[in-house]
Amino acid sequence: MLKYFLIFFVIFTGLAILPAHAITDFTPFQNISNSPNDSVNPFVVTDGKNIFIAWTEFSKGNHAGDVLFSKSTDGGETFSVPQNISNQQGSSIAPFIRVDGTSIFVTWTYRYQEDHYSEIFFSKSIDGGTTFSTPQKISGSTFSYGSRLATDDMNIFVTWGDITYSDNRYENMEILFSKSTDGGTTFSTPMNLSNNDGFSSYPSIAIDGKNVFIAWQDYSVVDTDIFVSESTDGGVTFSTPLNISTSPDGSVGARIIADGKNIFVTWFEFSKGIGDIFFSKSIDSGATFSTPMNLSKNKENSIVPFMVTDGKDIFITWTDATTTGSWIVFSKSTDGGATFSTQKISNDKGFSDAQSIATDGKTVFTAWNYHLKMELPYDILFSKSTNLDPSHDPAITEQSNPQQYSIQVKDSLNIDSKTINNDMQTKYLSPRKQLESGIQPDEITCKEGLELVIKTDHRHHPLCVTPDTKSKMIQRGLAMLIQTAN
């Protein structure tokens, strides 16, 4: 039985445009999950004194996960024994966490037994993470996913994707928003922010005072673009969505942060199935945005950025990999996003991905998935910077030797690839089963007339589809290509 579906990736090569930024040192990696089960998708936050991390652990089989939580009270030297804060019968996945004073707020996607039935749940701790409230449902439809939240003085703002599903196909996708003004006791009726006939998905949220900014990917015209909508009245009303990517290629995976009138957005963009990391900023509270800047700027793929700011510097991480490994890239700007440096911060061996990042202004904290080999479980690794303002090393101005990556899928099927003939695998097994039986991603074979893509939803399954369907899915941000090493 499968115990993990997971993790897509594409390809990366190097970064560009920078002045004399120096290399930031990071501590040796620390395993904070220490579990025999797959632990994935960590989110890390800090209140300036303590570090809090939530992630998913798959321990119940049949894709069923729990949301686990751990904290450090000594600057990341040690972490508490992970505690299960979801405790639900189905599968609790993809947690998102925020901290406000001594209160900690967590949202996640709860998937019922039915394949296309999921909701957004919320839980809070008012004692610094010692105990958590009973999870409560805050979404109202039958297929909600990918929640993000922000907090300000006990006001809680939550956004997520919502799918209309019927007749075994997606009819529509929208971006919903809800808020709580009583610390999470009650939430408002969800509001539709995208409200179009296209496919709007994977939102990100940031707040600054009464201003609420939400970014998402939207396929409603020709290609998938990044849209931003703003509320200046604490989430009562929102502006008409503004297209800030305006690209002929697919733009997906937006992350947005706010610092006064400065709004920063990063995403990854596909050109013929190949991805790069892009960045744009606004200096007028989101009224206008700069021309998108390509941070990775190479012919291979770079995907899934995560971004924070300490009010002065901007920090971005993403994943890059080859077909035999993947690692985490750290990028920073010390001039308000005019230029960026970049460096690798995770292990050369194995697979590192799905990173998140936080900062207290003095230190950068980051956590990610890691496993050394396919037969080993994924762990949650943690590291922190030791010299956020260093001066002893020259900047990395460009990375050469393009490097690539692809997909990894964990399972517990009793399939021994040594005993199955390759011809039999490729002829009779589905793409996912081919991966599970040991076939490399770039060696997957589809039936005649079909082509291989990877879904960009939370499962990231490989699919064999017609060329026309492939093109439409990539344009809408619903799928990506598998790339092979040169």
Please report the DSSP string for 23-70 in residue order: PPPBPPPEES---SSEEEEEEEEE-SS-EEEEEEEE-SSTT-EEEEEE
Range of lowest pLDDT (49-63, 188-202, 247-261)? 49-63
pLDDT at 137: 96
Beta strand 242-243 pairing with 224-231: antiparallel
pLDDT tens-digit map of 45-92: 999 999 999 999 998 655 689 999 999 999 999 999 999 999 998 899
CB-CB contact of 325 with 486 (8 Å): no
The pLDDT confidence band at residue 1, using thresholds 50, 70 and 90, is: very low
Mean pLDDT of 247-251: 83
One-letter amino acid at 474 equals: I
Mean pLDDT of 203-214: 96
One-letter amino acid at 323 equals: T
pTM of the full structure: 0.77
Mean pLDDT of 175-196: 96
The pLDDT confidence band at residue 197, using thresholds 50, 70 and 90, is: confident
For residue 338, is pLDDT > 80? yes
The pLDDT confidence band at residue 18, using thresholds 50, 70 and 90, is: very low
Q: Which residue has the tokens 């006939």?
A: 197
pLDDT at 455: 65
The pLDDT confidence band at residue 176, using thresholds 50, 70 and 90, is: very high
Backbone angles phi, psi at 443, to 5 degrees: -110, 5
pLDDT at 421: 33
Q: Cα–Cα distances in Å, from 150 out to 47, 157, 234, 309, 311?
A: 14, 5, 12, 14, 17
Give the percent of the chain with pLDDT over 90.
55
Cα–Cα distance measured from residue 256 to residue 263, given in angstroms and rounded to the nearest whole number: 7
One-letter amino acid at 440 equals: Q
pLDDT at 19: 40
One-letter amino acid at 156 equals: I
For residue 106, is pLDDT > 90? yes
Which stretch, 238-247, 299-308, 404-413, has highest mean pLDDT? 238-247
pLDDT at 115: 59
The pLDDT confidence band at residue 117, using thresholds 50, 70 and 90, is: confident
Mean pLDDT of 235-254: 92
What is the distance between the terminal CA atoms of the chain, rounded to a whole angstrom? 34
The pLDDT confidence band at residue 474, using thresholds 50, 70 and 90, is: low
Domain covering 11-404, topology: Neuraminidase (2.120.10)
pLDDT at 116: 60
Mean pLDDT of 9-35: 63
> Mean of the per-residue pLDDT values for the chain?
80
Q: Could you give the angle at the alpha carbon of 90 between the alpha carbons of 89 and 95, nearest 5°? A: 110
pLDDT tens-digit map of 365-415: 999 999 888 778 899 999 999 987 543 232 222 222 222 222 222 322 232
Boundaries of CATH 2.120.10.10 in the chain? 11-404
Supply 320's token pair.
């890059």
The pLDDT confidence band at residue 235, using thresholds 50, 70 and 90, is: very high
Cα atoms found within 13 Å of the Cα of residue 170, Cβ hemisphere only: 17
Cα–Cα distance measured from residue 66 to residue 135, given in angstroms and rounded to the nearest whole number: 12
In sequence order, the β-bridge partners of residue 106 are 97, 123
pLDDT at 299: 63
Q: Could you give the angle at the alpha carbon of 316 between the alpha carbons of 404 and 227, nearest 5°? A: 95
pLDDT at 372: 86
CB-CB contact of 125 with 47 (8 Å): no
Mean pLDDT of 427-447: 60
The pLDDT confidence band at residue 161, using thresholds 50, 70 and 90, is: very high
Cα–Cα distance measured from residue 377 to residue 408, given in angstroms and rounded to the nearest whole number: 12
The pLDDT confidence band at residue 148, using thresholds 50, 70 and 90, is: very high
Supply 8's token pair.
């897509």
